[in-house]
Structure 1
Protein backbone atom coordinates (compact mmCIF):
# COMPACT_ATOMS: atom_id res chain seq x y z
CA UNK A 1 0.00 0.00 0.00
CA UNK A 2 2.84 2.34 0.84
CA UNK A 3 4.50 1.64 -2.51
CA UNK A 4 1.30 2.67 -4.28
CA UNK A 5 1.43 6.06 -2.57
CA UNK A 6 5.01 6.55 -3.75
CA UNK A 7 3.91 5.74 -7.29
CA UNK A 8 1.10 8.31 -7.03
CA UNK A 9 3.54 10.95 -5.73
CA UNK A 10 5.94 10.33 -8.62
CA UNK A 11 3.15 10.36 -11.22
CA UNK A 12 1.78 13.62 -9.84
CA UNK A 13 5.27 15.15 -9.83
CA UNK A 14 5.88 14.09 -13.44
CA UNK A 15 2.50 15.47 -14.51
CA UNK A 16 3.21 18.80 -12.79
CA UNK A 17 6.73 18.94 -14.24
CA UNK A 18 5.35 18.54 -17.77
CA UNK A 19 2.20 20.67 -17.42
CA UNK A 20 3.50 23.62 -15.37
CA UNK A 21 5.38 25.37 -18.21
CA UNK A 22 2.17 25.36 -20.30
CA UNK A 23 0.65 27.65 -17.66
CA UNK A 24 3.80 29.76 -17.14
CA UNK A 25 4.55 28.13 -13.77
CA UNK A 26 7.91 26.92 -12.47
CA UNK A 27 8.11 23.22 -13.30
CA UNK A 28 10.70 22.42 -10.62
CA UNK A 29 8.75 24.06 -7.82
CA UNK A 30 5.52 22.28 -8.70
CA UNK A 31 7.26 18.91 -9.20
CA UNK A 32 8.99 19.10 -5.81
CA UNK A 33 5.75 20.13 -4.12
CA UNK A 34 4.02 17.27 -5.93
CA UNK A 35 6.47 14.74 -4.51
CA UNK A 36 6.17 16.14 -1.00
CA UNK A 37 2.43 16.82 -0.75
CA UNK A 38 0.95 14.89 -3.73
CA UNK A 39 -2.83 15.31 -3.96
CA UNK A 40 -2.94 18.58 -2.00
CA UNK A 41 -0.46 20.08 -4.45
CA UNK A 42 -2.38 18.71 -7.42
CA UNK A 43 -5.60 20.26 -6.13
CA UNK A 44 -3.98 23.65 -5.58
CA UNK A 45 -2.30 23.50 -8.99
CA UNK A 46 -5.60 22.77 -10.74
CA UNK A 47 -7.30 25.60 -8.85
CA UNK A 48 -4.57 28.02 -9.93
CA UNK A 49 -4.62 26.88 -13.57
CA UNK A 50 -8.36 27.04 -14.19
CA UNK A 51 -9.65 23.56 -13.36
CA UNK A 52 -11.28 24.98 -10.26
CA UNK A 53 -14.05 22.44 -9.60
CA UNK A 54 -11.81 19.40 -9.99
CA UNK A 55 -9.08 21.14 -8.00
CA UNK A 56 -11.41 21.89 -5.09
CA UNK A 57 -12.77 18.34 -5.10
CA UNK A 58 -9.24 16.87 -4.94
CA UNK A 59 -8.12 19.38 -2.32
CA UNK A 60 -11.11 18.83 -0.03
CA UNK A 61 -11.01 15.04 -0.42
CA UNK A 62 -7.29 14.83 0.33
CA UNK A 63 -7.62 17.16 3.32
CA UNK A 64 -10.47 15.08 4.74
CA UNK A 65 -8.44 11.91 4.17
CA UNK A 66 -5.52 13.36 6.14
CA UNK A 67 -7.81 14.52 8.96
CA UNK A 68 -9.42 11.07 9.16
CA UNK A 69 -5.97 9.48 9.28
CA UNK A 70 -4.89 11.73 12.13
CA UNK A 71 -8.11 11.03 14.03
CA UNK A 72 -7.61 7.30 13.51
CA UNK A 73 -4.08 7.42 14.90
CA UNK A 74 -5.24 9.46 17.90
CA UNK A 75 -8.15 7.07 18.51
CA UNK A 76 -5.81 4.07 18.43
CA UNK A 77 -3.49 5.79 20.88
CA UNK A 78 -6.35 6.56 23.25
CA UNK A 79 -7.66 2.99 23.04
CA UNK A 80 -4.23 1.56 23.82
CA UNK A 81 -3.81 3.99 26.73
CA UNK A 82 -7.17 2.99 28.20
CA UNK A 83 -6.37 -0.72 28.08
Structure 2
Protein backbone atom coordinates (compact mmCIF):
# COMPACT_ATOMS: atom_id res chain seq x y z
CA UNK A 1 0.00 0.00 0.00
CA UNK A 2 2.81 2.42 0.79
CA UNK A 3 4.48 1.93 -2.60
CA UNK A 4 1.27 2.67 -4.48
CA UNK A 5 0.61 5.72 -2.33
CA UNK A 6 4.14 7.01 -2.95
CA UNK A 7 3.71 6.76 -6.74
CA UNK A 8 0.35 8.48 -6.56
CA UNK A 9 1.73 11.30 -4.42
CA UNK A 10 4.71 11.80 -6.77
CA UNK A 11 2.34 11.89 -9.77
CA UNK A 12 0.12 14.47 -8.08
CA UNK A 13 3.10 16.65 -7.09
CA UNK A 14 4.49 16.56 -10.65
CA UNK A 15 1.03 17.34 -12.09
CA UNK A 16 0.58 20.32 -9.75
CA UNK A 17 4.05 21.66 -10.58
CA UNK A 18 3.41 21.37 -14.33
CA UNK A 19 -0.06 22.91 -13.98
CA UNK A 20 1.41 25.96 -12.22
CA UNK A 21 4.59 26.32 -14.31
CA UNK A 22 3.28 25.61 -17.84
CA UNK A 23 1.60 29.00 -18.46
CA UNK A 24 4.91 30.76 -17.65
CA UNK A 25 6.36 29.11 -20.76
CA UNK A 26 3.25 29.44 -22.98
CA UNK A 27 2.40 25.74 -22.63
CA UNK A 28 -1.00 24.19 -22.02
CA UNK A 29 -1.37 23.75 -18.27
CA UNK A 30 -3.99 20.99 -18.53
CA UNK A 31 -2.07 18.98 -21.11
CA UNK A 32 1.16 19.02 -19.11
CA UNK A 33 -0.62 18.33 -15.81
CA UNK A 34 -2.32 15.26 -17.30
CA UNK A 35 0.90 14.07 -18.91
CA UNK A 36 2.76 14.63 -15.64
CA UNK A 37 0.20 12.66 -13.66
CA UNK A 38 0.17 9.73 -16.10
CA UNK A 39 3.84 9.53 -17.09
CA UNK A 40 5.44 11.13 -14.01
CA UNK A 41 9.16 11.87 -14.12
CA UNK A 42 9.50 11.21 -17.86
CA UNK A 43 6.93 13.90 -18.65
CA UNK A 44 8.62 16.26 -16.18
CA UNK A 45 11.99 15.66 -17.84
CA UNK A 46 10.60 16.28 -21.33
CA UNK A 47 8.84 19.43 -20.09
CA UNK A 48 12.08 20.75 -18.61
CA UNK A 49 13.93 20.03 -21.86
CA UNK A 50 11.28 21.89 -23.87
CA UNK A 51 11.34 24.89 -21.55
CA UNK A 52 15.10 25.40 -21.78
CA UNK A 53 16.24 23.60 -18.64
CA UNK A 54 17.95 20.94 -20.71
CA UNK A 55 20.56 19.56 -18.29
CA UNK A 56 18.10 18.90 -15.48
CA UNK A 57 15.52 17.63 -17.96
CA UNK A 58 17.90 15.11 -19.50
CA UNK A 59 19.09 13.92 -16.09
CA UNK A 60 15.53 13.32 -14.89
CA UNK A 61 14.49 11.64 -18.15
CA UNK A 62 17.50 9.30 -18.30
CA UNK A 63 17.28 8.33 -14.62
CA UNK A 64 13.53 7.67 -14.94
CA UNK A 65 14.00 5.52 -18.04
CA UNK A 66 16.81 3.55 -16.38
CA UNK A 67 14.66 2.95 -13.30
CA UNK A 68 11.73 1.78 -15.44
CA UNK A 69 14.04 -0.60 -17.33
CA UNK A 70 15.39 -1.93 -14.00
CA UNK A 71 11.86 -2.50 -12.67
CA UNK A 72 10.82 -4.32 -15.86
CA UNK A 73 13.96 -6.48 -15.68
CA UNK A 74 13.29 -7.37 -12.03
CA UNK A 75 9.67 -8.25 -12.79
CA UNK A 76 10.76 -10.53 -15.66
CA UNK A 77 13.38 -12.22 -13.47
CA UNK A 78 10.84 -12.71 -10.69
CA UNK A 79 8.31 -14.18 -13.16
CA UNK A 80 10.93 -16.61 -14.51
CA UNK A 81 11.96 -17.65 -10.99
CA UNK A 82 8.35 -18.18 -9.92
CA UNK A 83 7.51 -20.16 -13.05
CA UNK A 84 10.53 -22.48 -12.64
CA UNK A 85 10.05 -23.01 -8.92
CA UNK A 86 12.77 -20.61 -7.84
CA UNK A 87 15.61 -23.04 -8.42
CA UNK A 88 15.60 -24.13 -4.77
When normalised by structure 2's length, the TM-score is 0.92
Q: String of CA shifts for 1:34-81, please: whole Å, max 9, x gaps.
A: 110010000000000011000000000000000000000000011112
Q: Describe the SS at the equivalent of 1:71.
A: helix
Residue 53 of structure 1: SS of its match in structure 2?
Answer: helix
Residue segments in structure 2 that go unaligned for 5+ positions in a row: none
Moved over 4 A (4+): none
2:77 is the alignment partner of 1:75: yes
Larger Rg: 2
1:60 aligns with 2:62: yes
Q: Secondary structure at the match of 1:43?
A: helix
Could you list the runs of 5+ residues in structure 1 that have no partner in the other structure? Answer: none
The residue number in structure 2 matching 1:28 is 30
In 1, distance between residues paired with 2:60 and 2:49?
Answer: 10
2:7 aligns to what? 5
Q: Report the RMSD for the aligned CA atoms in angstroms.
A: 0.6
Q: How many residues align?
A: 83
Cα drift, residue 82 of structure 1: 1.6
Instruction: Output the CA distance in 1 between the equivalents of 2:23 and 2:79.
Output: 45
